[in-house]
Amino acid sequence: MSSKRPVTVALAGNANVGKSAVFNQLTGLNQIIGNWPGKTVERAEGKLHFGGYTIKILDLPGIYSLSTFSMEEIVARDYIATERPDVIINVVDASALERNLYFTIQLLELQAPTIIALNQVDSAAKRGIEIDVARLSEILEVPVVRTVAIRGAGINELLSKVVDVLEGRVDLPKSKVEYGKEIEESLVMLESAISEKLPSLSHYPARWIAVKLLERDEDITHKIRELEAGAEVLEIADEIINRIEEMHGEPSPIIIASERYGIANRIAREVTRIVSPPRTTLEERLNGLTTHKLLGYPFLASVVAMMFSIVFVAGDFLIGLFEGLFEENLIPITHSLLSQALPPVLVEVTVEGFISGIVAGITIALPYIVPFYILLAILEDSGYLPRAAFLMDNLMHKIGLHGKAFIPLLLGYGCNVPACIGCRIMETDRERFLAGFVTVLIPCAARTVIILGLVGRYLGIHIAFALYAFDLVFVFALGRLAYRIVPGEPVGLIMEMPPYRIPHMTSVFKKTCSRTKDFVYVAFPLIIAGSVLLQSMRVSGAIHSLAQFLGPLISVWLGLPELTGIPLIFGVLRKELTLVLLAQLAGTTDFQQILQPIQMIVFTLVTMIYIPCIATIAALVREFGWRRAIGVSVIDILLALTVGGVAYRLLTVVL
């Protein structure tokens, strides 16, 4: 066997079991973070060299099952079943063994070459839980290695086991998960029919397909229905399922799930020993406080206020720092140097388009993105995010989402870019898109500048707050409407409450770097291209022609001065530009000379609702693809124009 043979190892397991910590220990900074092809599910992979092998490590999404209920489950299952990695490391939380074994049992059903990393054994020991590793390995017939991934304990032994499997020193038999008598008899019948009539599905274990049919798995059922003898196999499966359901008095998916949980329970009871009586710990007291039906909300409000303040204050500080560095130094110097070698038109496009596009990305997106990623990683590692989602679940269900959607909506007040990316925490594509759609309607910091700098300054802070209140009602109403229009079924909040932990700064740093790099690679080219296009239109005079073309819409429908059309167009680049350009075009910063009170409100409403900025468009493209990003942008523009026009007429009548 060649010592240079490349191999693939996949990390699989529930969420919050320390999978990312294992991944970081194995790969260090040698990581690539991206998306699975065609999916908005994060794909993390890295490489290492051990025992003469080049090992590619792939971190699969954290899931609880290999059923097809969420996008993450589909991605993980398809990869394990079809790509067939050389070894799967199933990361298991030692303090929640029974719950984690439900997923392990499904891996064994898939006959995947599995090694178990029994992680967080230190946390289990603090709770008085001791696992008989040798007995667990004997029952499951797979190697089990104790690890404390956050400290790197057990990682070398884990890699040694991987090499032992690769070189055949550890035999991984295709262990069979034994169900009850009636289920086993049904599986034997189905397995025989599948092996005989569906040879084209031989890349899947026949027994696993049989189990999936008993679970009424839609994905497997659809695959079989398209095959020549598929209808016959499905007919046999239906007869067996009907008999089982009649015998047990429950739907077959519940029967299979109950059987699995029974197996997991028996194994966990056999290998687990409580070595000390449980005591109320500080962690348990904190958990009780943060999930309390009354006290949990003030705590959540404090965390939200702190997070919002840090992102907002740190972002403003970094923006000021970067603007002073780039806009006051780099751009003038570059303009001066290029003006000596290039025609004025090319200088304008290069400096104000290309260079300013880069500067805009650095000064607008990154100052909010980086603090957001740092805080997100801290909250992820601490275990608080699931508690916040739990508390907000009832409220978010009113707009067809669940509690997790509260997090990106909140972040939208700082910047819509990280808020869009934050929608990844939702389980399904439908939920992510709905969250992204309403998130971009939340007034970000740049729009806050307009709301407070125009309406708040000239009409009073109470009018500014009224606009914020209107926006929340508007978001709620659109969320309800989109919930009913977008096809698909809503998903309930099913998530684990992981134990509280002190965030590991190395893990926080690595997550922040990987996510920031991923954003820069995807979003910056779009920001720069958009900046160059707008500047080219400005230099060529096309922007003024466009403003004149839009004149009837701006002046007649919205009741605004025609010159406001240009700032609204350039507001796509960055929202605060609307006020700056308006002042430049009018030759004054006293907006009372340009706009009447009603016009100030209409201008602010339009700016507040239409698509935030080109960086947000780039984030939408990154998360949902071009078609949906364009669709959301067009819808937001139409909504802004509709609301602006209606508001102008209503306010004219009322005032």
Q: Are residues 259 and 358 in the same domain?
A: no
Domain CATH code at residue 129: 3.40.50.300
Contact partners, residue 559, CB within 8 Å, separation at least 6: 598, 599, 602, 645, 648, 652
172 lies in some domain? no
- Report H helices in 12-91: 19-27, 71-78
Per-residue pLDDT reduced to its tens digit, 467-489 = 988 988 898 888 888 777 776 55
Domain boundary among 166, 192, 221: 166
**Predicted model pTM:** 0.61
Tokens at 96, concatenated = 């929640």
Per-residue pLDDT reduced to its tens digit, 218-230 = 888 888 888 888 8
Q: Report d(CA 44, CA 515) in Å as an integer.
A: 10
Q: Mean pLDDT throughout 505-526?
A: 74
Of residues 296 and 278, the one with the higher pLDDT is 296
Per-residue pLDDT reduced to its tens digit, 50-91 = 888 888 899 888 888 777 566 777 788 878 877 888 999 999
The distance of Cα 629 from the centroid of its chain, to the nearest Å, equals 16
14 phi/psi in degrees, rounded to 5: -65, 165
**DSSP-assigned letters across all residues of 520-570:** HHHHHHHHHHHHHHHHHHHHHTHHHHHHHHTHIIIIIIS---GGGHHHHHH
Q: Are residues 154 and 16 in the same domain?
A: yes
Whether the CB-CB separation of 240 and 190 falls below 8 Å is answered with yes
Of residues 324 and 233, the one with the higher pLDDT is 233
pLDDT value at position 605?
Answer: 93
Domain boundary among 244, 274, 304: 274
Tokens at 514, concatenated = 């990987």
Tell me which amino acid residue 449 is.
Answer: V
Q: Are residues 30 and 155 in the same domain?
A: yes
Average pLDDT over the chain, rounded to an integer: 80
500 lies in some domain? no
pLDDT value at position 604?
Answer: 92
291 lies in some domain? no
498 lies in some domain? no
For 9-18, 109-118, 414-423, 490-499, which range has the lowest pLDDT when averaged over its residues? 490-499
Q: Report d(CA 180, CA 188) in Å as an integer.
A: 12
Per-residue pLDDT reduced to its tens digit, 623-637 = 888 888 999 999 999
Q: Are residues 10 and 119 in the same domain?
A: yes
Q: Report d(CA 126, CA 279) in Å as an integer.
A: 10
Q: Are residues 108 and 198 in the same domain?
A: no
Q: Are residues 449 and 531 in the same domain?
A: no
Asked if the model's pLDDT at residue 151 lies above 90, the reply is no
Q: Mean pLDDT throughout 347-362?
A: 73
Whether the CB-CB separation of 608 and 471 falls below 8 Å is answered with yes
Q: Are residues 519 and 378 in the same domain?
A: yes
Per-residue pLDDT reduced to its tens digit, 165-183 = 888 888 776 666 788 888 8
Q: Are residues 260 and 328 in the same domain?
A: no
Domain CATH code at residue 192: 1.10.287.1770
Q: Are residues 316 and 260 in the same domain?
A: no
Q: Report d(CA 360, CA 572) in Å as an integer.
A: 12
Whether the CB-CB separation of 10 and 88 falls below 8 Å is answered with yes
Asked if the model's pLDDT at residue 2 lies above 50, the reply is no
Q: Are residues 322 and 442 in the same domain?
A: yes
289 lies in some domain? no
pLDDT value at position 1?
Answer: 41
Q: Are residues 393 and 469 in the same domain?
A: yes
Residue of 134, 206, 217, 142 lying closest to 173 (CA atoms): 142
Task: Provide the residue range defining the domain that includes 371.
Answer: 296-492+506-524
Q: Are residues 343 and 216 in the same domain?
A: no
282 lies in some domain? no
171 lies in some domain? no
639 lies in some domain? yes
Asked if the model's pLDDT at residue 114 lies above 80, the reply is yes
- The structural domain count of the chain equals 4
pLDDT value at position 78?
Answer: 79
